[in-house]
Structures are given as C-alpha cells and as structure tokens.
Amino acid sequence: MNPVPFSLGPALLFCPADRPDRFAKALDRADAVVLDLEDGVAPDAKESARRAVVDTPLDPARTIVRVNPAGTPEHAADLAALAGTGYRTLMLPKADGRFVGPLVRPDGTPYAVVALCETAAGVVAAAALAARPDVVALAWGAEDLVASLGGTSSRRDDGRYRDVARHARSTVLLAAGAGGKAAIDAVHLDLGDLDGLRAEALDAAAVGFAASLCVHPAQVPVIRAAYAPTPDDVAAARAVLAAGAGAGGAFALDGRMVDGPVLAQAHAVLRRAGVDTRHDEEVRR
C-alpha cells in the first residue's frame, strides 16, 4: 500500500525536536510543522529530542519528522523511537541513490517520505527518488548542496541564488513534476529579508512548487500570501474557463490566445484558491 499523496502546505515550519515547548505553537502558526531531529539538534541532544517527539504528540496529519540521514546510527535510533508514535510522514535529509527502503512502520506499511535533495548526489538522483512509490515529495536545500561541492556560499551579494543553486532548484522541481510528486522549495535563511522571501515564494508558486520550507513563524504569513492567488488572479482564471467552456479548441480572449495549457494554468489558480475544479475538468474531457 502506497502512502497518500502529499497535500500539506504552503508554509512548512521547522521546529527543533529538542524544544517540545515550541511544538504546538509551531503547528498552530503554520500549515504543517517539521520536527527536526537532524541539523536543528546538537549531537548530545539527539536522544532527548527523540524522547520529546515521543512524549509530546501532535496531529500526525500535519506533522513531518525530519530524521537523520539513512545509514547513520542516529537514523536507526530515530526510526526505533518513532515506531511508538502515530507519525507517518518523514523527511529524509541528504537523500540520494544510496537511499534503499522503503522506510516502514511497525505494521509493515511504508512511511510517506519527503526526499530532501541537498547534496550533489541527491540532485543527480532526483528523478530516481521521485519514481519511488514511498516518496510523496521532493524538497531541496541550497546550503548543504554548496557544502557538498566544496563551496562556501549559495547566494550572491545581492541575495540571489548562484547558478548552481538555481540549477538544483529547477532540477528537483522538474524531477518531481515528471514523477507526479509534489515539490517543496528551500528555506530562506535571511530572517530579516521578508521582501526576498516574498519574491522567492511568489516565483515558487508561479512555477509549480506545492510549498515552501521556513525557519521562523514570521515567514509563514509571507509564504501563505505569496501562494494565495489574488482576487484579480481568481477573476481572470474564472473568465478564461468560462470562455473556454464552449470552445472546441484554441480561441482568443482579450487579445490573448487561449489553449489547453492556458486552461490548465487557470485550473491551477483556482485550486490554489481552494476552488474545486474537478467537475469542470471532467466536463471538458
């Protein structure tokens, strides 16, 4: 039995797993919380963090647990601890072609895995990871990626990603789309740069990312607003679909050619706005 498709988002908030006092607050403020057993926890606090995750339960439907990388002793300890919880979605950091599995729960069903492609090997393996039935989404990370290449900075002085990071972002997005899986955009680490975060989230929504990762509650409303279509966007999408309802092929609307891809984009706008367009799509078929 395969995990259900990924449907969380758009704002996924990391919370260190050794701070149980923040768990409920993080979940309340975001669309989903990522309890972080990996980079957010010091090596000597890993065991207490695992106990905190077990002893402070959250809604499993809106919780992702980032475990330690596969093949490490900490990873095995994470899975052993999680066996006694109701959590069913894991984020696997530094996922690449060496990731073998599936990762299974005590009853034998596979965890839903968000594969984090954040190394050179992980980006190269993105398509293979997206093809796995237990992988429900691909995410990417710029800082570990650049570190895996021996580099020192993922961004230019003006805050824009360097070319290798942009390439990795696009590669992961394309692999996820080709595999029918969701894509999740990377964190924006400059907490004071809400304008830069807004620009990246707007771009992420426009090109098809399902969600963005964030590391501070103040980033959540910025991401939510960026992913939410404006009233003008919704009105324009409705107008396109209304005009296309009786059209047998391509047609012109307000000086713009409209065909199948444009109609599909209009459906995507309405889905992001929470409008169920499945009936309209079935009618068109």
pLDDT for position 74? 97
Mean predicted lDDT score pLDDT of the chain: 91
Report which of residues 246 and 250 the model is more confident about.
250
Name the band, by pLDDT with cuts 50, 70 and 90, for residue 246.
Answer: low
Q: What is the mean pLDDT of residues 91-105?
A: 90
Report which of residues 180 and 264 the model is more confident about.
180
Per the structure block, which two tokens stand in for 31?
């669309």
- Return the HEC string of 168-200: HHHHHHHHHHHCCCEEEECCCCCCCCHHHHHHH
pLDDT for position 278? 59
Tens of pLDDT, residues 109-133: 999 999 999 999 999 999 999 999 9
Burial class (CB within 10 angstroms; exposed 0-12, middle 13-18, buried 19+) of 232: exposed
Cβ contact 204:212 at 8 Å: yes
Is pLDDT at 59 greater than 60 in this prediction? yes
Separation CA 64–CA 32 (nearest Å): 7
Is pLDDT at 258 greater than 90 in this prediction? no
**For residue 88, how many C-alpha atoms fall within 13 Å in the half-sphere facing its CB?**
16
pLDDT for position 282? 42
Separation CA 166–CA 160 (nearest Å): 9
pLDDT for position 285? 43
Structural domain boundaries in the chain? 11-227, 231-284
Is pLDDT at 10 greater than 50 in this prediction? yes
Tens of pLDDT, residues 182-231: 999 999 999 999 999 999 999 999 999 999 999 999 999 999 999 998 77
Separation CA 237–CA 262 (nearest Å): 9
Q: What is the mean pLDDT of residues 143-171?
A: 97
| SS3 category, 32 | strand
Name the band, by pLDDT with cuts 50, 70 and 90, for residue 83.
Answer: very high
Crossing angle for the helix pair 46-55 and 73-82, nearest 10 degrees?
20
Is pLDDT at 174 greater than 50 in this prediction? yes
Report which of residues 260 and 78 the model is more confident about.
78
Name the band, by pLDDT with cuts 50, 70 and 90, for residue 175.
Answer: very high
Question: How far, CA to CA in Å, does 132 sit from each of 3, 136, 182?
Answer: 11, 8, 13
What phi and psi, each to the nearest 5 degrees, are found at residue 100?
-110, 155
Burial class (CB within 10 angstroms; exposed 0-12, middle 13-18, buried 19+) of 13: buried
pLDDT for position 231? 73
Name the band, by pLDDT with cuts 50, 70 and 90, for residue 283.
Answer: very low
Cβ neighbours, 10 Å, residue 88: 18
Crossing angle for the helix pair 231-244 and 260-272, nearest 10 degrees?
140
Separation CA 163–CA 145 (nearest Å): 12
* Paired residues of 258 in beta bridges: 251
Is pLDDT at 237 greater than 90 in this prediction? no
pLDDT for position 107? 86
Tens of pLDDT, residues 14-37: 999 999 999 999 999 999 999 999
Domain 11-227, CATH among 3.40.91.10, 3.20.20.60, 2.40.10.340, 1.10.10.10:
3.20.20.60
Separation CA 187–CA 201 (nearest Å): 10
Q: Provide the 8-state DSSP code for 264.
A: H
